[in-house]
Amino acid sequence: MFKILFYTPEIPGNTGNAIRLAAVTGAELHLVEPLGFDFEDAKLRRAGLDYHDLARVTVHPSLEAAYEALLPARVFAFTAEGRTVYSDLEYAPGDVLMFGPESVGLPEDVKRDSRISDLVKLPMLPSRRSMNLANTASVAVFEAWRQQGFAGAGPRA
């Protein structure tokens, strides 16, 4: 379905939550090294609960390696300086939703890369710096999945 790309994530709990997000939505999670933790980290395991074996997680040694595996898909880079509001996009299966490290977000050179289809933002109140990484990814993935009619989900009440 969709591909979540965390560029050099730093906080194990956020990646653990993203593993759980990938497991419950059918999305793939792609991580670009260096990671700010290892997969034995207790906080990563706790946040992901018992969903680790239900999620497709791939670790790439570099952004170039991730692009080699993911392109020619569209890549939407989420940033507080985005031009397009996340809910204004028309998502398609296979789209890549990219998010930067928690402390600094995506670097300028990544945001300017010609392989980025669009810079995307979630609306926030003025003078707020950013949202939590896992929460932002969840909002974006569920909007993309909603647009696909929650394909693959069980019956809705």
> Is residue 113 in a domain?
yes
> Is residue 46 in a domain?
yes
Model's pTM, two decimal places? 0.93
CATH of the domain at 88: 3.40.1280.10
> Is residue 123 in a domain?
yes
> Is residue 152 in a domain?
no
Residue 50's domain spans which residues? 3-147
Q: Which residue has the tokens 């809910």?
A: 87
- The pLDDT assigned to 128 comes to 86
> Is residue 157 in a domain?
no
- The pLDDT assigned to 157 comes to 54
Q: How many domains does the chain have?
A: 1
**pLDDT lower than 50: segments of the chain:** none
> Is residue 57 in a domain?
yes
Q: Which two tokens stand for residue 44?
A: 């990563």
Q: Is 130 annotated as a binding residue?
A: yes
pLDDT tens readout for residues 75-100: 999 999 999 999 999 999 999 999 99
Q: Is 100 annotated as a binding residue?
A: yes
> Is residue 153 in a domain?
no
53-83: b (≥16 Cβ within 10 Å) or e: eebebeebeebeebbeebeebbbbbbbbebe
- The pLDDT assigned to 45 comes to 62
> Is residue 77 in a domain?
yes
